[in-house]
């Protein structure tokens, strides 16, 4: 295509309407028609990135191949599109201001007074067009975080207004996602909040081209006509987005509503190729028609907020569909697992996953969960901190090193089986100082993990951690049966451990969940779910016998 087209997705009335899902669904439909599409997220908070945010604040922190700590919506983008994102796909107000201030300090503004307009808005526009100018994409979808009218979002809205004017007709459009609430007392859907939201957008100089209306009830043609008239959009551009049983239904619902068709029309792009959603529909069919089910315990310390482990939960959906198995995830708060109750808390599970995290809260509960899985031969997967807990548990209970710990939890531990990297010891800032992004890992011949990766000798996986396996204990642990089966050759750091005398016990220092997509479920999760099903069947047969 001669010129990259831009789609801006804004939100109104309330937050958490699902702009990311709508953006990803539209991108999937456009991609399935042959358009090279990507999505970026503009976040209005002042943190430079979500890396230092508590998961309770913002859900999980998603990491890209290039080591960017980003918003969890980028996970949706990758899972839907099967296209890798990067630092360029997530921009925060903090990063924008940091960049502008650094330019001012270097004297790049030649003594001018630095202002929101034009300096901040110019920086935003530059970031928005970074992917478009790369020549790799036909269409860039940009999701604006927050809600129209928020004081934090104003510079982004102004930047969008300027870009719409600069790019010209048919080169950029705005999709406004809003809420049409149902009042049970009145027994009807109300359009007034949407009207006010669109009015607020217009006060900023932006006219919505397409209106996507989130709703719990079907929106009648009469209401669509009313919204079109009062919100100044074409009738065919009023799109219903009703609650769905799964987020993976949304692309099909948007196709039924004609979102992709009206988008192509507004962008003056050819609409002569029907969407190819064959593989997507196959995945949905397997997901919705499982032949069996398993219950997997997710042991973590942020389980009250589902978004804290979003990628893990979605990976279970992908792996479940691959195995034609429904995965029931039972959340177990590690802070409430004790030596007295751990058997009761964990009994009846077909597999146990000990989740990533930071800090010492809930750590001993994770150690007990590892012990329960190891002793009872229950399939176990430890991710990042979960892998480190496996090393600690094995060191304590098998090697007999009672004080074994991570220096993250106990700086003065006598047996630091997990310790900080030497180059990290002098760093005082927390943001962006971990081992981040894609790192290579060599897999040992004959290992279970190599079998899970279909015989691959080398893999590349994404990391987000500061503490590492202490190689001083490697020989002792291997002699005791905890084998290191994956290494990074450059650093000689242990990436994977597995228990020798266990049917399926794997701990990985990286985050496999970040790379699982609908098109390519992660092989570790696929193998883990399969192992859970085999364990369940074995237990059932043993009971019958």
Which amino acids are annotated catalytic?
Answer: 384, 511, 513
Instruction: For tokens 């669904």, name the residue.
Output: 25
The sign one gets for the Cα dihedral 453, 298, 81, 511 is: negative
Q: Is 365 annotated as a binding residue?
A: no
Q: Is 387 annotated as a binding residue?
A: yes
Instruction: For tokens 């899972």, name the residue.
Output: 79
Q: Is 224 annotated as a binding residue?
A: no
Count the helix, strand and coil residues of the chain and give each as a percent rounded to the nearest 5.
Answer: 45, 25, 35
Q: Is 310 annotated as a binding residue?
A: no
> DSSP secondary structure string, 460-496?
EEEEEESEEE-GGGHHHHHHHTEEEEEEETTTTEEEE
Q: In the structure encoding, which two tokens stand for residue 514, read together? A: 């970040």
69, 432 in Cβ contact below 8 A?
Answer: yes
Q: Is 458 annotated as a binding residue?
A: no
Q: Is 292 annotated as a binding residue?
A: no
Q: Is 388 annotated as a binding residue?
A: yes
Q: Is 56 annotated as a binding residue?
A: yes
Q: Is 16 annotated as a binding residue?
A: yes
Distances, alpha carbon 108 to alpha carbons 96, 104, 111, 124, 496, in Å:
15, 6, 8, 17, 47
Alpha helices, H only, 414-473:
448-452
438 Cα distance to chain centroid? 15
CA 218/CA 209 separation, integer angstroms: 22
Opening angle at CA 128, ends 12 and 263, nearest 5: 60
Q: Is 183 annotated as a binding residue?
A: no
Cβ neighbours, 10 Å, residue 537: 13
CA 531/CA 521 separation, integer angstroms: 15
Q: Is 385 annotated as a binding residue?
A: yes
Q: For 4, which DSSP code?
A: -
Q: Is 190 annotated as a binding residue?
A: yes
Q: Is 345 annotated as a binding residue?
A: no
Q: Is 500 annotated as a binding residue?
A: no
Q: Is 168 annotated as a binding residue?
A: no
Q: Which bin fits 134, alpha (ψ -120 to 50), beta or left (φ > 0)?
A: alpha
Q: Is 275 annotated as a binding residue?
A: no
Q: Is 457 annotated as a binding residue?
A: no
Opening angle at CA 485, ends 482 and 491, nearest 5: 110
- Residue 178, classified by CB atoms within 10 Å of its CB into exposed (0-12), middle (13-18) or buried (19+), is buried
Q: Is 530 annotated as a binding residue?
A: no
144, 9 in Cβ contact below 8 A?
Answer: yes
Q: Is 143 annotated as a binding residue?
A: yes
Q: Is 386 annotated as a binding residue?
A: yes
Q: Is 17 annotated as a binding residue?
A: yes
Q: In the structure encoding, which two tokens stand for residue 389, read together? A: 């807990």
CA 457/CA 305 separation, integer angstroms: 37
Q: Is 126 annotated as a binding residue?
A: no
Q: Is 377 annotated as a binding residue?
A: no
Alpha helices, H only, 115-217:
121-130, 154-167, 192-203
Cβ neighbours, 10 Å, residue 23: 25
Q: Is 59 annotated as a binding residue?
A: no
**Nearest-10 crossing angle of helices 278-288, 310-323:** 90
316, 529 in Cβ contact below 8 A?
Answer: yes
What are the b/e assignments for 440-450, b being 16+ CB within 10 Å?
ebbbbeebbbb
The annotation places the binding site for Mg(2+) at: 73, 143
The annotation places the binding site for CTP at: 15, 150-152, 190-195, 226
The annotation places the binding site at: 15-21, 56, 73, 143, 150-152, 190-195, 226, 244, 357, 385-388, 408, 466
The annotation places the binding site for ATP at: 16-21, 73, 244
The annotation places the binding site for L-glutamine at: 56, 357, 385-388, 408, 466
The annotation places the binding site for UTP at: 15, 190-195, 226
């Amino acid at each position: 295509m001669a010129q990259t087209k831009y789609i801006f997705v804004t939100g109104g009335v309330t937050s958490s309407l699902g702009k990311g899902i709508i953006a990803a669904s539209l991108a999937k439909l456009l991609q399935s028609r042959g358009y090279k599409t990507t999505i970026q997220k503009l976040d209005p908070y002042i943190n430079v990135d979500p890396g230092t945010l508590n998961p309770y604040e913002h859900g999980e922190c998603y990491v890209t191949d290039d080591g960017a700590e980003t918003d969890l919506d980028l996970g949706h983008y990758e899972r839907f599109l099967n296209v890798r994102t990067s630092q360029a796909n997530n921009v925060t107000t903090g990063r924008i201001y940091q960049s502008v201030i650094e330019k001012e300090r270097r004297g790049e503004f030649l003594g001018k007074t630095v202002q929101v307009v034009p300096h901040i808005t110019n920086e935003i526009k530059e970031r928005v067009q970074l992917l478009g100018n790369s020549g790799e994409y036909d269409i860039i979808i940009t999701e604006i975080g927050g809600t129209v009218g928020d004081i934090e979002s104003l510079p982004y809205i102004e930047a969008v207004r300027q870009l719409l004017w600069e790019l010209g007709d048919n080169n950029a459009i705005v999709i406004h996602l809003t809420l049409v609430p149902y009042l049970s007392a009145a027994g009807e859907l109300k359009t007034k909040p949407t009207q006010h939201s669109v009015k607020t957008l217009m006060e900023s100089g932006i006219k919505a081209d397409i209106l996507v209306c989130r709703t719990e009830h079907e929106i009648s043609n009469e209401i669509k006509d009313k919204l079109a008239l009062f919100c100044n959009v074409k009738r065919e551009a009023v799109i219903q987005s009703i609650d769905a049983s799964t987020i993976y239904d949304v692309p099909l619902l948007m196709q039924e509503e004609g979102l992709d068709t009206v988008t192509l029309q507004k962008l003056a792009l050819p609409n002569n190729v029907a969407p190819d959603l064959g593989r997507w529909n196959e995945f949905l069919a397997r997901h919705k028609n499982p032949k069996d089910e398993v219950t997997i315990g997710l042991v973590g310390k942020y389980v009250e907020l589902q978004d804290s482990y979003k990628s893990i939960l979605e990976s279970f959906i992908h792996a479940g569909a691959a195995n034609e198995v429904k995965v029931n995830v039972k959340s177990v708060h590690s802070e409430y697992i004790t030596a007295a109750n751990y058997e009761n808390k964990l009994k009846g599970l077909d597999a146990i996953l000990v989740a990533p995290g930071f800090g010492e809260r809930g750590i001993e509960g994770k150690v007990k969960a590892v012990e329960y899985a190891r002793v009872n031969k229950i399939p176990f997967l430890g991710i990042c901190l979960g892998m480190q807990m496996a090393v600690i548990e094995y060191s304590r209970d098998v090697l007999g090193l009672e004080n074994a710990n991570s220096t993250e939890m106990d700086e003065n531990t006598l047996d630091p089986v997990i310790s900080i990297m030497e180059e990290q010891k002098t760093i005082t800032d927390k943001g962006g100082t971990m081992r981040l992004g894609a790192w290579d890992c060599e897999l040992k011949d004959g290992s279970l993990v190599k079998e899970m990766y279909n015989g691959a000798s080398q893999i590349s996986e994404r990391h987000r951690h500061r503490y590492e396996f202490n190689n001083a204990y490697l020989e002792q642990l291997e002699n005791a049966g905890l084998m290191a089966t994956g290494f990074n050759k450059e650093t000689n750091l242990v990436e994977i451990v597995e228990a020798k005398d266990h049917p399926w016990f794997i701990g990985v220092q990286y985050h496999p969940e970040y790379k699982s997509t609908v098109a390519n479920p992660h092989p570790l999760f696929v193998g883990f779910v399969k192992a859970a099903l085999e364990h369940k069947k074995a237990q059932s047969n043993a009971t019958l016998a």
